[in-house]
Amino acid sequence: MTPTPAVALTIAGSDSGGGAGIQADLVTFAAFEVHGTSAITAVTAQNTVGVSAVVTIDPDVIEAQVRSVTDDFMVRATKTGMLATAPIVERVAALAASGILGPLVVDPVMVSTTGATLLDADAVQAVRDALLPSAALVTPNRAEAELLTGIAITSIEAQRAAAQRLVELGARAALVKGGHLDGPDAIDILFDGRNVVELRAPRVWTRNDHGTGCTLSAAICACLARGLTLPRAVEEAKAYVTRGLADGADWGLGTGRGPFSHFAKGRPAVVA
């Protein structure tokens, strides 16, 4: 029999194409043998080519979903994804500040791989001012780190500077991802307020990279729920992403930026 799993919560948007958002998060939680719960912030009509419609959910209904989960389950860690609007960011930040979410991984989703806006312009400031102070970790990609810090990310040194700035802004730790920088390796920089760690993996040449950011933050969240330290959680999550990208590199799902593979053989090597 499988022992009772740890519980993680994702507060994010739905991707009808199943590549990113809530769908990627729940599949990733399951891969790490963590029970996944969810609060949906927005419904997107989306596929590998684009986003054709977005409906945001009333903050009261988002809060009700969160409280339904936290009133009944022991949530060990939470991640946020697409938060869409400033009022949603502010409501989620208030829930986080009240202490019911456990360690919070903030993936500051702003634009989809296919170029659609997933966070209103006026919500960026709410992420910076209200949400970052509750984050155990914030995981921006290049463009998100630039918007949040004002630092142009053109090098590893700039990634380090941005990670340090994000910690100054209130996050306990920052992972500035390098998937959108050039070079033979995909290099992410983790700063936990004391140490800088460089995570490096060979770049996989593929068009199937839709959902990698969601998957990375969900995998970190799952590992935190299982009791791993932050550096170990990030290391395990990065390995999961690299393996999945390679596994699905030649897939032909959809005609655009295809979904990431969660079917790589072998279980994630997580020991709590």
Ligand X SMILES: Nc1ncnc2c1ncn2[C@@H]1O[C@H](COP(=O)(O)OP(=O)(O)OP(=O)(O)O)[C@@H](O)[C@H]1O
Ligand Y SMILES: Cc1ncc(COP(=O)(O)O)c(N)n1
Contacting residues toward ligand X, per CB under 6 A: 113, 141, 177-180, 186, 188, 201, 203-204, 209, 211-214, 216, 238, 241-242, 245
Select from ligand X, ligand Y, none the partner in contact with residue 242, using the beta carbon and a kind-dependent cut-off of 5 to 8 Å: ligand X
Non-local CB neighbours of 3 within 8 Å, separated by 6+ positions: none
Q: Cβ 198 to ligand X, closest distance in Å?
A: 11
CB of 62 to ligand Y, least distance (A): 14
Nearer to ligand Y, 50 or 227 (CB): 50
Sign of CA dihedral 18, 23, 24, 27: negative
Residue nearest to ligand Y (CB): 21
Q: State in angstroms the smallest separation of the CB of 56 from ligand Y.
A: 11
- Measured between alpha carbons, how far is 44 from 41 in angstroms, rounded to an integer? 10
Nearer to ligand X, 38 or 206 (CB): 206
Tokens of 212: 């990698």
Cβ 209 to ligand X shortest distance, Å: 5
Residue with Cβ nearer ligand X (50 or 179): 179
Q: For ligand Y, which is the closer residue by CB, 29 or 270? A: 29
Instruction: Answer with the entry of ligand X, ligand Y, none that 82 interacts with (C-beta below 5 to 8 A by kind).
Output: ligand Y
Q: Which is nearer to ligand X, 69 or 187 (CB)?
A: 187
Write down the least CB distance from residue 107 to ligand Y, Å: 8
- Nearer to ligand X by Cβ, of 12 and 214: the residue is 214
What's the min distance (Å) between Cβ of 236 and ligand X?
12
Minimum Å distance from CB 98 to ligand X?
A: 27
Contact status, residue 232 vs residue 187, Cβ threshold 8 Å = no
Residues recorded for the chain? 272
Residues at the interface with ligand Y (CB under 6 A)? 12-15, 20-21, 44, 46, 81-82, 109, 112-113, 118, 210-211, 213-214
Residue with Cβ nearer ligand X (128 or 243): 243
**Calpha distance 246→248 (Å, rounded):** 6
81 binds, among ligand X, ligand Y, none (CB under 5 to 8 A by kind): ligand Y
